[in-house]
Amino acid sequence: MDTLELLGHPVRLRIVHAMRGGRTLTTAELGALLPNVSKAMVYRHVDLLAAGGVLEVADERRVRGAVERHYRLRRDRASVDPGTAASMSPDDHRRGFAVALAALVAEFNAYLDRDDADPRVDPVGYQQHAVWLDRDELAALVGELRAAILPRLANPAAPGRARYLLSPILFPSEPPATESG
């Protein structure tokens, strides 16, 4: 199974999100982070991600006669490379976008289902903004967003830190305006 196919399932994508930040987790710990996903489904998708090289075994221990595996994310395998993205058809993009949205909806529902969830107080946002940009302005905006986000992607889990999902979505909603003479 290639990376595009591996990441093309909402549960597998949620597992990848949960593993980001340098985490090393067991399948049981992942299941606790995905309470609205059955234990069997978590195990099945972890096995697929490990077989596909997206997850790797970081440690194995014997626990009550069974082998407990701790997994970590292989960041180099946990995203669609630019070459693959460039070769994707419009239907591939539709499916990828639908999977990403399904995973995002599932994550948001899991947040809302928590006893301590309070969207009025927590920094929750899901606004959409329409901005008019030429190609240079768009390139500058994307560069500024990358400069703000990329350094924080390397933050490890630590006391006092909470994990947030940040999902920038950008696409042209209209064709470019033409100059009228």
What pLDDT, on a 0 to 100 scale, did the predictor assign at position 51? 94
What pLDDT, on a 0 to 100 scale, did the predictor assign at position 158? 87
What pLDDT, on a 0 to 100 scale, did the predictor assign at position 134? 93
How would you classify the pairing of strands 24-26 and 55-63?
unpaired
What pLDDT, on a 0 to 100 scale, did the predictor assign at position 118? 94
What pLDDT, on a 0 to 100 scale, did the predictor assign at position 12? 92
Q: From 1.10.540.10, 1.10.10.10, 3.20.20.120, 1.25.40.390, which CATH number describes the 3-126 domain?
A: 1.10.10.10
pLDDT tens digit sequence for 76-85: 888 888 888 8
Domain boundaries defined on the chain: 3-126
CA-CA-CA-CA dihedral for 16, 100, 167, 39, to nearest 10:
-40
Question: How far apart are the C-alpha atoms of 15 and 36, rounded to whole Å?
Answer: 12
Q: Tens-of-pLDDT digits for all 181 residues of the chain?
A: 777 888 889 899 899 988 887 889 999 999 999 988 999 999 999 999 999 999 999 998 888 888 889 999 998 888 888 888 899 999 999 988 998 898 889 889 888 988 999 999 998 988 899 999 999 999 999 999 999 999 998 888 889 998 888 888 888 888 887 766 4
What pLDDT, on a 0 to 100 scale, did the predictor assign at position 180? 63
